[in-house]
Structure 1
Amino acid sequence: GQKRIVECIDNDETASVISTLVHPKYLLILTSVKGIYLDQKDPTTLVEKVEGKDADEVIANIDELQKHCFGASRSGAGGAKTKLEFIKEPIRQGTTVIIASSKYRISDAIKGNCPRTIFRVR
């Protein structure tokens, strides 16, 4: 068959591409903040979950959330809007995506025992 070459220059993009190849149950994206915020300057606006009845509805909700995202948390980072773009294909393929702070244990992020944003089909 035809081989596909994907050039990835962003860690989140690389994780997303690998996820589409191996179809994991979870894709965990660790970051310097607790998850996705409606207002990055207001920590009380953390979006805890983005769900839908199917992948299309989850992605429509992500599209809506992207309208609130501006900038990156540090130089060289893609920022929330870019992260949200990269997670759409894994969600289409049935992967649950979690964006959480690297300060927390992976098991806590997966179980919901720490602040995070989870994207999934209900």
Structure 2
Amino acid sequence: MTTKSDNNDETPITFEEALEKTGNGVYNILLVMTCSLILLAIGIDLFGFSLVVAAACDLELTVSEKGILTSLPFVGILLVSYFWGYVSDTRGRRFTLVIPLLLSFILSCISSLSPHWLFLGLFKFLCVC
């Protein structure tokens, strides 16, 4: 890294010095808090779903149907991770975070109202896509 001084002289500085010069402010704190809440919501949505399968008597699920429901979110992640990586590189990180998070929230709400295990699995699969 280099920095320009008043006399237009570029002098190299280390990464630690650059961080020290830029400082740490309210933006950094809000960014960390926002990202932490997003990660918490994703973790609860992804791993908390296995607890719903424990209440399978409502949907009268067999053991194989429970296994399918539990694995569908992970299959969705595996299938679309390269696509979202490409989109984030070409469209930008903000677009890749805002639109899918909103759609994921909507699909999670819809999946909570699913009357059949196939619809529940479909919406949970689409939720992580």
- Do they superpose with TM above 0.5? no
Structure exhibiting the larger radius of gyration computed from Cα positions: 2
Q: Which protein, 1 or 2, shows the higher relative CO under an 8 Å CA cutoff with sep ≥ 6? A: 1
Q: Which has the higher strand share?
A: 1
